[in-house]
Structures are given as structure tokens and as C-alpha cells.
């Protein structure tokens, strides 16, 4: 068995974006340097975080990549580095930067391309909805009951045992809401995502991303990368890049990924900005672990907590 993965960094995906998410990043030299680098690679990207801009799947994914990398570099500047990283959906790209599989510039280019492909494939009429309060098996049955050959729906993300996300056309999601309500769901909530991610509707996007990432040099990873799609720890850059390409069209098994981290000895989870949704999931799945959302905790405090947790491990 390898070394304990005591500290894990978690990177949120699309749906977590919010207005001001880049302007509200912690005041730190590493954050300022990251924003400046993003501006050089994609001019204007470091300032596109208002509500209107973030309605674009391209802009939202780029902003999430910038935020994740900026936070990671700020923590590293204070001496806090993770033992493992995991990213939810588009959050896999800043996780791959932290792991050493991508440079920041490569990640920005890849995320922009991913967003453009998703947008162009489904410019309107599609989306995602979270079903709260039903088990995974129940949601599968509901999805099967409302799917038609011309208007399918798919189980796309399993966040927890009772928080499952479905992707499909808007009419299918309307049928989902009614059927889930009849099945006893606590709530069905449309997400701020305008494309049907993490299902076979995006197989073409996954294929195009495999071609794009095929040109990226393969490097030795510096930190293990845990796939949010498979729940497996990846130690090889080729496997990580393959995971990044396929991830857009396969189910996100975040519940399994967080559980695996707990089994591998993670006692501190730190979620990078924006928000705290992954922190809340980690807290539910691993109640004995320390869980921090950087959006509500200072860089210095999170770094100090990381050092304390590391000092306590066997």
C-alpha cells in the first residue's frame, strides 16, 4: 500500500460558478500571478466573472480552472500541498494541473476547447437537474420511465446516495420533475448548466477532446490524481489525460471518489473556490475528517491546518 493520502484538494465543476468568483479570490501574490498568466494565455479571461458572462459554458469552465489553479498556488506558497487531488467534472482540469499532468496554459486551452465543443453541440434546449431525496436505484427507474427514443434522459452524476443529477433535453427534465415528485423526491432542481454533460449525448465531444489532449506532452505526475468518473487513483499522465477526455461523456461517480479518499486515509479535505458544495459532500461522506472550503477560510489558516494534520499522521 502506498503512502497515506492525508490531505486531499477538491476542485468544483460547472454549476458552482457565481458572479464575482475571480474578484473574490484571496488576496495573495500567487493569485495575482495566476490571474496575470490567465490574461496572457486568454486575454480577458481573468475579468469575465459577472453573471452574464458566466451563463456561457465556455466562460464558466475557464473561470473555474483559473480559480482552482490560483487557490492551489496560493496554498503552495504558504507551504500547503496535497497528497491527492480530485476534480468534479470541469474541476478535473485544475486538478490535473495540480497533479502535474497539464500546465496551466494547456489546461486553459483544453477547457476553452471543451466548453466550445459542448456549446456548439447543444446550443439550447438541454440541461441538467438534481434529484434530491431519492436513492440512486430509484432515480435510475424514474429516468427509465420518462426516457423516449427521441427525447432521452440519462443519470449523469452521483454526488451522494440521495443527490443524483440527470442530463437531457428540457422536455425530458420536465417529465423527470413530475415523475420524481410522484416517487417521493424531496426536490428536483434545475442546475445552472445549459448542456447535457456526462452522458452519451457528448460522445462526440469526448472523441474531439481525446484528439486535442493527444498532443499534450506526457509528464511524470507529482501528485496522485483521483478520477471523479471512476473513483480510481491514477498515477500516470496518459491515464489522467484519457480521463479528462472521456469525463465529459461518462457518469461522474463523485460519491465513490470521496469514499475512496476516506479509505486511503484522507483526514483533511480542502475545497478550492468557488463555494462549498464539495466540502459539504465530503463532510457527509467522511464525518470524522476535517473539511474546509477555502471560500470561507483564509489561505494562511488553511495552510496552518494542513501542517497540523500532517504533523499528526503516523
Residue for grid cell 464575482: 20
The Cα 213–Cα 242 span in angstroms is 8
pLDDT 10s digits, 63-101: 999 999 999 999 999 999 999 999 999 999 999 999 999
- Nearest Cα neighbor of 231 from 255, 254, 257, 251 is 257
In the sheet where 290-293 sits, what is the strand order? 233-234, 225-226, 84-87, 7-11, 268-271, 290-293
Q: Give the H or E element holding residue 156.
A: strand 153-160
For the chain, the distance separating the N- and C-terminal CA atoms, rounded to the nearest angstrom, is 15
Q: What is the pLDDT along the chain (314 residues), one digit of tens a residue?
A: 445 789 999 999 998 999 999 999 999 999 999 999 999 999 999 999 999 999 999 999 999 999 999 999 999 999 999 999 999 999 999 999 999 999 999 999 999 999 999 999 999 999 999 999 999 999 999 999 999 999 999 999 999 999 999 999 999 999 999 999 999 999 999 998 889 999 999 999 999 999 999 999 999 999 999 999 999 999 999 999 999 999 999 999 999 999 999 999 999 999 999 999 999 999 999 999 999 999 888 899 999 999 899 888 76
In the numeric block, which cell numbers belong to residue 227? 478520477
**What are the structural domains of the chain?**
7-121+201-312 (3.40.366.10), 126-194 (3.30.70.250)
- Nearest Cα neighbor of 244 from 91, 98, 134 is 91
In the numeric block, which cell numbers belong to residue 102? 497539464
How many other β-carbons are positioned within 10 Å of the β-carbon of residue 301? 13
What residues pair up with 188 in beta bridges, in sequence order? 131
Beta-carbon contacts of 84 under 8 Å, excluding residues fewer than 6 positions away, are: 5, 7, 8, 9, 223, 224, 225, 226, 233, 261, 264, 266
Q: Identify whether the C-beta of residue 60 lies closer than 8 Å to the C-beta of residue 18.
A: no
- Nearest Cα neighbor of 17 from 125, 91, 70, 119 is 91
pLDDT 10s digits, 38-70: 999 999 999 999 999 999 999 999 999 999 999
Please tell me the predicted confidence (pLDDT) of residue 1: 40
Q: Give the H or E element holding residue 155.
A: strand 153-160
User: At how many degrees (to 10) do helices 237-246 and 203-213 cross?
Assistant: 150
The Cα 283–Cα 229 span in angstroms is 20
Please tell me the predicted confidence (pLDDT) of residue 3: 59
The Cα 182–Cα 169 span in angstroms is 20
Amino acid at each position: 500500500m502506498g503512502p497515506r493520502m492525508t490531505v486531499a484538494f477538491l476542485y468544483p465543476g460547472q454549476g458552482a460558478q457565481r458572479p464575482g468568483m475571480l474578484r473574490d479570490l484571496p488576496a495573495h501574490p500567487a493569485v495575482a500571478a495566476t490571474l496575470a498568466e490567465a490574461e496572457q494565455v486568454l486575454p480577458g479571461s481573468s475579468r469575465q466573472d459577472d453573471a452574464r458572462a458566466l451563463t456561457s459554458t465556455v466562460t464558466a469552465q475557464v473561470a473555474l480552472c483559473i480559480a482552482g489553479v490560483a487557490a492551489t498556488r496560493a496554498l503552495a506558497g504558504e507551504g500547503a500541498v496535497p497528497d491527492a487531488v480530485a476534480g468534479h467534472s470541469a474541476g478535473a482540469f485544475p486538478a490535473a494541473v495540480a497533479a502535474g499532468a497539464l500546465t496551466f496554459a494547456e489546461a486553459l486551452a483544453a477547457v476553452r476547447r471543451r466548453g466550445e465543443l459542448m456549446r456548439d453541440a447543444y446550443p439550447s434546449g438541454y440541461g441538467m437537474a438534481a434529484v434530491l431525496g431519492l436513492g440512486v436505484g430509484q432515480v435510475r427507474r424514474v429516468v427509465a420511465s420518462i426516457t423516449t427514443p427521441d427525447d432521452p434522459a440519462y443519470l449523469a452524476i452521483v454526488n451522494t446516495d440521495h443527490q443524483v443529477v440527470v442530463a437531457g433535453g428540457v422536455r425530458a427534465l420536465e417529465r423527470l420533475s413530475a415523475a420524481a415528485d410522484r416517487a417521493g423526491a424531496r426536490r428536483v432542481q434545475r442546475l445552472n448548466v445549459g448542456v447535457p454533460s456526462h452522458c452519451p449525448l457528448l460522445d462526440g465531444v469526448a472523441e474531439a477532446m481525446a484528439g486535442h489532449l493527444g498532443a499534450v506532452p506526457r509528464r511524470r505526475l507529482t501528485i496522485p490524481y483521483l478520477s471523479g468518473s471512476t473513483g480510481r487513483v491514477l498515477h500516470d499522465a496518459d491515464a489522467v489525460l484519457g480521463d479528462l477526455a472521456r469525463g465529459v461523456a461518462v457518469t461522474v461517480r463523485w460519491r465513490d471518489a470521496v469514499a475512496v479518499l476516506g479509505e486511503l486515509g484522507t483526514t483533511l479535505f480542502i475545497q478550492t473556490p468557488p463555494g462549498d458544495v464539495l466540502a459539504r459532500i465530503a463532510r457527509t461522506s467522511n464525518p470524522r475528517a476535517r473539511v474546509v472550503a477555502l471560500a470561507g477560510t483564509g489561505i494562511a489558516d488553511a495552510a496552518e491546518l494542513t501542517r497540523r494534520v500532517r504533523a499528526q499522521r503516523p
